[in-house]
Amino acid sequence: MKYSLTAGDATSIKTPCLVTSLKTARTLANQLGARDIFSRAIGDFKDKLENNLVVQLPGNVARLLVLGGADDTLSEESFRKLCTGAAKSAVAIPARQAVFHLEKIKVSRAKTAWKLQTAMTALSDEAYRYSKHKSSPGSAPDLRSVRFLVKSRSNAGKSVQLGNALDQGLKLARDLGNEPPNVCNPNYLLKEARKLRGPNVSVTNLDEKKMESLNMGAFLAVSKGSDTPGQMIIVHYKGGRKSDAPFSLVGKGITFDTGGISLKPPAAMDEMKFDMCGAAAVLGVAKAVIEAQLPINLVAIVAAAENMPSGRATRPADIVTTSSGKTVEILNTDAEGRLVLCDALTHAQTFKPQAIVDVATLTGACIIALGSHASALYSNDDGLAESLLEAGDSSGDRAWRMPLWDEYQTALRSNFADVANVGGREAGSVTAACFLKRFIDDGVKWAH
């Protein structure tokens, strides 16, 4: 999707579709000489949230997409629902271009920039299709570009720049997640990462030989069972001052997770291709940051490996040494994400970042704890945690902070190594985060 701005009066717009509230639509129809057509069309229309209506008109505005409930003062959550419904309706219309007129819609405590970003995210979500591997792909939406009608371009230009960048980042993340595991392996992720280009961008990698020289025994314990070697992928973006410490993002990239010797049950194992979605998210963020030319320095690290059973695979009870020097007793080879991440987190700290945020589909215990409506957030720094929580509330991708109390660390005791890679059944998502915390040096701001 391509987003842009247009300034001026709605009556001067030429478009296949104008998206607006009932009150504005009625005024516009009257000004365009289509009062009777509009009145007949809305005769049975209920002006309530999530009710939308398309009205065909003669002239420069071929259609009005009327958004129900848009003349009320909306909460942020109600506005998100309005935008989701508007996007679904707009994408279904056989038109390549549309104009969204949202500036007059009142949202409690929200500015125009937030409204535009929320609408753009909804449109990117609804317009996305993935049919790469179908012999007869379904038809893609006709809608290709959306203009936002505003009073002043200067107040909203940055929002559109960010919206276009985010659209590209979201598409990359979704495409990577949807690829089948016989295509998307660690080498494929490296190839896709190398497509991230720009004057301030460089991509490097640590192959297994290099990781072995850095004593990344935890990472290698996961990848050793696969015929496809693991890769640690590092994307450097230098958009800030040379003296600015970077932010670091670390993504779990298990391109397929059988569980290893601790084999998963067959049911729904096909979904384990999504175990690299932490990596997909990190690469998507890197893409968006690069496209938006944000004035920051970023180090994005992807820990990419395939967790397979074989004669070479790690066994339960094996002990490995991490690059931090700590030893880990691997009690369950299906708790592999924390093994690749602990070495990646140690490597991230060599860049002396302002903060580290790791993203992972780490354990199903998180879904047991929180369901599917919030992500769990763990952090050793209150300021970082609050920033991430506020960002989640603003974007609608909400998180809930969970405890990292030292009492939970006792579950990870090992009789034979410094730490076990799993605890008991209780608080499984908490003990997973507690495991990662052990690899964060004092004074380093970190969130999982």
Write out the catalytic residue numbers: 264, 338
Please give the sequence-ordered ranges of beta strands (E in DSSP) within 151-296, or none if there are none. 201-206, 231-238, 247-257
Segment holding 196, helix H or strand E: none
Alpha-carbon distances of 357 from 48, 221, 282, 340, rounded to whole Å: 40, 23, 10, 15
- Cite the DSSP H helix spans in 44-185: 76-92, 112-127, 157-178
Distance CA 414, CA 180 (A): 37
DSSP conformation class of 84: H
- Biggest alpha carbon–alpha carbon distance for the chain: 83
Task: Please check whether residue 208 is in contact with residue 250, taking contact to mean a CB–CB distance below 8 angstroms.
Answer: no
Task: Please check whether residue 373 is in contact with residue 398, taking contact to mean a CB–CB distance below 8 angstroms.
Answer: yes
Enter the tokens of residue 68: 């129900």
Enter the tokens of residue 143: 């809608």
Task: Please check whether residue 323 is in contact with residue 216, taking contact to mean a CB–CB distance below 8 angstroms.
Answer: yes
